[in-house]
Amino acid sequence: MLENQKVNIKIKLASLWASATFCYLYGDYFELYTPDKVNSLISGDNIMDNPTTLLIASIILAIPSLMVAASIFLKPKINRILNILFGILFTIMMVVIGISSTNEWYLFYVFLAFLESIITALIVWYAWKWPKEKSEL
Q: Please write the tens of the pLDDT for every residue from 93-127.
A: 999 988 887 788 889 989 999 999 999 999 999 99
| Burial class, 72, CB count within 10 angstroms (exposed 0-12 / middle 13-18 / buried 19+) | middle
Answer yes or no: is 120 within a domain: yes
Answer yes or no: is 54 within a domain: yes
Query: What range does the domain containing 121 cover?
Result: 9-128
Q: How confident is the model at residue 44 (pLDDT cuts 50, 70, 90)?
A: confident
Q: How confident is the model at residue 137 (pLDDT cuts 50, 70, 90)?
A: low
Q: Which amino acid is at 9?
A: I
pTM metric for this prediction: 0.89
- The domain tally of the chain equals 1
Answer yes or no: is 136 within a domain: no
Answer yes or no: is 4 within a domain: no
